[in-house]
Amino acid sequence: MKINWFPGHMTKALKEMKSMLPSIDVILYVLDGRAPISSINPSLDTLSQGKPILFVINKIDLSDEEKIKNFVTRFKGEKSDYVCLNSTMSGAGKIIKTKINNLAKDRIEKYKAKGVKVAIRALVVGVPNSGKSTLINNLCGKSKMVTGNKPGVTKMRQWVAIGDNIELCDTPGTLYPNLADQEVAKKLAFIGSIKDQVVDQIELAEELLAFLKKDYLPLLEKRFGQDLSLEGIARKRGYVRGGGEIDIERTAQAIIDDFRKSRIGRITLD
């Protein structure tokens, strides 16, 4: 299975982000906790232009917390910080305001010395379906952004104010122009950052099962039984058409859906 998806609007979005960076104080990089490392553009250092970065590991309620703990501290640095949260929970984003102000403290203090209260501008970036718009709505306390559990909902940049000194700009979800690492591409497809319409769902389900067998075999067997072939799962679920024909398409979609909705368990692919 070869995955290659980079629609034209993403090229435009990347160009817009680069043009905005000179006027941006902090970057909020929203990562999907089910694949946080794979959610990061490998060209981040170049793209960020040295701006402070707050890594927001989102969907922590769907993720394997033990795995997250093992590598999350790599996001902490002189000009970077991190926070783990579930952006659908009310008030979960309050700590983000504090973190943004800490990362921008030099700029705040500089203007404070002049008697000026400066507004901190933060650019929110991340792969499609990482929960950027949901996070911003959480921070605002109201639904200002259109959200959806699929990639490509945010089509244009949108500015909103949170608190009395922070402005956030939501941007369309963007991938990398070159998904050369197919293991990364598969993980992004598993979590729904790549449109299902451009990936064979039967192949994707088979790849997902093979991947999860490595670290999460007990969870798979608990959910689907001992026979982890598509045919075995289909028969266990009763996905059989008249005449005994197995409904492989329905089975594949059910497996993918069970993973994305955490019915198999809390999983992190990285």
Q: What is the H or E stretch that residue 229 is in?
A: none
Q: Where, residue-wise, is CATH 1.10.1580.10 in the chain?
A: 200-260
Indicate the SS3 state at residue 162. strand
Overall size of the chain counted in residues = 270
> What pTM did the predictor assign?
0.85
Q: What is the third-level CATH fold of 8-170?
A: Rossmann fold (3.40.50)
Is the pLDDT at 241 greater than 70, yes or no? yes
Is the pLDDT at 9 greater than 80, yes or no? no
Query: What is the token pair recorded at 240?
Result: 């059989």
Torsion of CA 137, 153, 125, 63, to 10 degrees: 80
The CATH number corresponding to 200-260 among 1.20.1090.10, 3.10.20.340, 3.40.50.720, 1.10.1580.10 equals 1.10.1580.10
Q: What is the pLDDT of residues 46-89, one digit of tens each?
A: 778 889 999 999 999 999 999 999 888 889 988 999 999 998 88
Q: What is the pLDDT of residues 106-150, one digit of tens each?
A: 888 888 888 888 889 999 988 888 888 888 888 887 655 444 444
Quick one: DSSP state of residue 33? T
Q: How confident is the prediction for the chain on average, in pLDDT?
A: 85
Q: Where, residue-wise, is CATH 3.40.50.300 in the chain?
A: 8-170
